[in-house]
Amino acid sequence: MDPEEDEISDDLAVCLAQLMSRPQVPATIAALRKSYVTYTMPITASNAASITTLEARALLASSGTTGLRTWEAALYLGSYLSSTEGMPVVQNKTIIELGAGTGFLSILCAKHLGANYVLATDGSGEVVDDMVSNVYLNGLEGSGIVDPVVLKWGHALIDGIFESHGGTQNFDVALGADVVRSRSF
């Protein structure tokens, strides 16, 4: 490469200058924006499980919920459940996840760990709406393996949620990672 002959394109330099002159989005606004995040969990030495979620970087949403992001406890629990020691806990089981948030654990169990059925619950309707999107992003929409629903602790589940599963549902496993109960929900 000869600096005398090889130059940076004028078009590229103009484009860079335009991008650099744009006002930056304040950090408080940027933290509220949602973005796609892909997590990869090692299942076996030769197989990895990928899960994509739409989530916010903010620790607490403007509505007061913490469920719009995947927390470290879910990643650690997912790592354990993906291990040879943890996989039998969920494989061929019927699972309820409390405080599912983005649905990361529910999706992991339904898509990669061989769960028979997962009821992914959260107390926030906004969070459950996003969880439905995450189930879709991971190819599980309409599969009948995972159902995101609102569950407010101390209240009954919506009638009919289990109709496609024999009318009543018993769970083999209850999962919860970084579960938070707030009186405001």
Taking 70 as the pLDDT cut, the residues of the chain under it are: 1-6, 27-32, 44-46, 57-67, 154-168, 180-185
The pLDDT of residue 152 is 79
The pLDDT of residue 108 is 96
Separation of alpha carbons 126 and 160, rounded Å: 21
Residue 62's SS3 state is coil
Q: Tell me how far apart the terminal alpha carbons of the chain are, to the nearest angstrom.
A: 63
The pLDDT of residue 3 is 60
Residues 6+ apart with CB under 8 A from 117: 94, 95, 110, 144, 145, 146, 147, 165
The pLDDT of residue 74 is 92
Q: With contact defined as beta carbons under 8 Å apart, do 54 and 35 qualify? A: yes
Sign of CA dihedral 30, 32, 35, 39: positive
The pLDDT of residue 185 is 46
Separation of alpha carbons 30 and 54, rounded Å: 14
